[in-house]
Amino acid sequence: MAVIGEILKKTVEAADKIFTNPDPQEAQKDVLEELLSKAEETAFGKYYQFRKILDSDDQRKAFAAEVPFHSYDKMYDQWWHKTLDGAPDITWPGKVDYFSVSSGTTSKKKHIPVTGDMLKSIRKAGIQQIKGAADFDLPSWFYEKEILMFGSSTNLKKVNDHYEGEISGISASQLPLWFEGYYRPGRKISSIDDWDQRVDALAKEAPNWDIGSISGIPSWIELMLKRVIWYHNLNHIHEIWPNFLVFTSGGVAFEPYKKSFDRITGRPIEVIDTYLTSEGYLATQTRKDTDAMALITDNGIYFEFVPFNDENVDEDGNIRPGAQALKIEDVEKGVQYVLVISTVAGAWRYMIGDTIVFTDKERAEIKITGRTKHFLNVVGSQLSVIQMNRALDQLGKEFDLDIKEFTVAALLEEDNYLHRWYLGVSDEIEHEKEQPMAKRLDEILRETNKNYNVARNKALRSVEVKLVPDHVFYSWAEATNQKGGQAKVAKVMKEDDFREWEDYVTQKINP
């Protein structure tokens, strides 16, 4: 009998009963007051009169009236560049020692402050995730198994007087000492910069571990698991890790990867969705009977929600000046919102670029529907990533194809627009399927999205589908310095970026 595991399981179950989720409205009031109080003497707090906001009868109303929305560029140009240069007390008290650097080419990289308070918030959110596991009724032995956290490298780069890396690498580099007995692949392997070398080192050590859970972005975790299977000539991953039971997914929707995960696991696993971004740990799945995630409303992050429509959001995906943000108690189920956050890292009314819908208002449960800049809306089609995922899931089932990756763009050719889709599949490429797939994809989208149907009767004249091996998407990520970690290939590209992608695909397939 797993005695220690039984004790830990009972502890988690007891915590779940004692520490119930707070009332979202009251929790958010408290969080905003704490944020304003702590940042009152910063340069940002003085400029936007946080003391005046704190003294007002309605702090949330005063906060929304006084502080404007901030995109990354606006936040960086006006404030964060000073923080990056080492100045203290700019948007959060003290000096910032860590910066989360987003994936992408050098010209597109973003530097997001990661304060000590944010690292505490992320650790606390991890506890919330563990507490939520009580609802999954995991066996007691599971709590004694090792945890494989495979994101970006923990070998952070020292730049001037601060460290830089991706958020998963920063978080893993700050794990407490007591956790090291459970943490895999361990500090030595996780600090290897090159993703392929890190995976090879992991594969070599894999037989020495007893993995119970794995966390990471599905596309890169799948590639890692396939490498382990290949390295040891296995049929499936459970031959080497028989106790692998839980996959904690983050960054993208897991559903497109379910079929391929089923092929590389020997039996079903539990999947728990999480919402960890460079700006903070925002939500986690806490119930087995839903794949929605509960916003963590009492953990140093204040949420606001702007209805996602043309009146509030411009064609570049930015919130228009004067748009009204809703508080958490004012949202409606099923409506798409642009997510705006203020945090213990000194982000203020900050647009992280994601859109969400509430699936359960009382529990503050949400699903990510896409990115404000990844909506296919050039001609009014208003297609969200979640709608695209659902359509491609149905298309894959009808054509018996495993569609895991895709990217699409609206292209202007001969004075008319067309949608060109590249679908990444692990099956043998059958180009004769492309035309009937395009016709059927068009039909599905017409049936499920009235705006798309209207657009197809006007400026959107045609739809094209091109099938490519899914590994082309991963090699593209590597070619653009985005391999592994938090990297995700854009689901929707602007025309110039899409033309570069097409050139790359042509070179890759027809060298």
Residues 207 and 142: beta-carbon distance below 8 Å: no
Give me the pLDDT at residue 483, please. Answer: 62
Residues 35-72: tens digit of each pLDDT: 999 999 999 999 999 999 999 999 999 999 999 999 99
Residues 217-262: tens digit of each pLDDT: 888 899 899 999 999 999 999 999 999 999 998 867 788 788 889 9
Distance of alpha carbon 102 from alpha carbon 62, whole angstroms = 32
Residues 250 and 216: beta-carbon distance below 8 Å: yes
> Which of the residue ranges 197-201, 369-373, 377-381, 474-478 has the most confident prediction, judged by mean pLDDT?
197-201
The residue-averaged pLDDT of 200-222 equals 94
Establish how many alpha carbons lie within 13 A of residue 168's alpha carbon, considering only the half-sphere containing its beta carbon. 23
pLDDT band at 304 (very low <50, low <70, confident <90, very high): very high
Q: Which residues of 153-190 are buried (b: 16+ CB within 10 A; e: fewer)?
A: bbebeeeeebbbbbbbbbbbbbbeeeeeebbbbeeebb
Q: How far is CA 401 from CA 376, 397, 434, 438, 469, in A?
A: 23, 6, 12, 14, 12
Residues 317 and 371: beta-carbon distance below 8 Å: yes
Nearest to 490 by CA among 402, 373, 331: 373
Distance of alpha carbon 136 from alpha carbon 285, whole angstroms = 11
| 466 has a pLDDT exceeding 90 | yes
pLDDT band at 172 (very low <50, low <70, confident <90, very high): confident
The lowest-confidence range among 11-15, 220-224, 272-276, 484-488 is: 11-15
Residues 318-374: tens digit of each pLDDT: 898 889 999 999 999 999 899 999 999 999 999 998 999 999 999 999 998 877 776
Residues 396-425: tens digit of each pLDDT: 999 999 888 899 988 888 778 889 999 998
> Which distant-in-sequence residues (6+ apart) come within 8 Å of 171 by Cβ?
119, 122, 151, 276
Give me the pLDDT at residue 148, please. Answer: 94
Count of helices and strands (H, E) across the chain = 18, 18
Strands 350-360 and 365-371: antiparallel
Residues 291 and 285: beta-carbon distance below 8 Å: yes
Supply the Cα-derived Rg of the chain in whole angstroms: 23
| 159 has a pLDDT exceeding 50 | yes
The lowest-confidence range among 164-168, 212-216, 304-308, 384-388 is: 384-388
Q: How far is CA 4 from CA 9, 140, 382, in A?
A: 9, 8, 52
Distance of alpha carbon 187 from alpha carbon 337, whole angstroms = 39
Q: How far is CA 209 from CA 2, 115, 326, 427, in A?
A: 17, 33, 47, 32
Residue 343 main-chain phi, psi, to 5 deg = -140, 170
Distance of alpha carbon 233 from alpha carbon 19, whole angstroms = 45
The residue-averaged pLDDT of 379-387 equals 74
pLDDT band at 104 (very low <50, low <70, confident <90, very high): very low
> Which of the residue ranges 112-116, 138-142, 271-275 has the most confident prediction, judged by mean pLDDT?
112-116
Give me the pLDDT at residue 19, please. Answer: 47
> Which distant-in-sequence residues (6+ apart) come within 8 Å of 358 by Cβ?
331, 332, 333, 334, 335, 337, 364, 365, 366
| 464 has a pLDDT exceeding 70 | yes
Instruction: Kindly state the tokens that stand for 145.
Output: 């198994």
Nearest to 186 by CA among 166, 162, 206: 206
Give me the pLDDT at residue 360, please. Answer: 96
The lowest-confidence range among 101-105, 138-142, 143-147 is: 101-105
Strands 246-250 and 162-165: unpaired
pLDDT band at 3 (very low <50, low <70, confident <90, very high): very low
Q: What is the pTM of this model?
A: 0.83
| 380 has a pLDDT exceeding 70 | no
- In the chain, where the domains are located: 1-294, 385-509
| Total length of the chain | 511
CATH code of 385-509, in short, is 3.30.300
CATH code of 1-294, in short, is 3.40.50
Distance of alpha carbon 188 from alpha carbon 455, whole angstroms = 53
Distance of alpha carbon 169 from alpha carbon 417, whole angstroms = 41
Give me the pLDDT at residue 298, please. Answer: 95
| 479 has a pLDDT exceeding 50 | yes
Establish how many alpha carbons lie within 13 A of residue 489's alpha carbon, considering only the half-sphere containing its beta carbon. 26
Distance of alpha carbon 375 from alpha carbon 409, whole angstroms = 10
Distance of alpha carbon 498 from alpha carbon 493, whole angstroms = 6
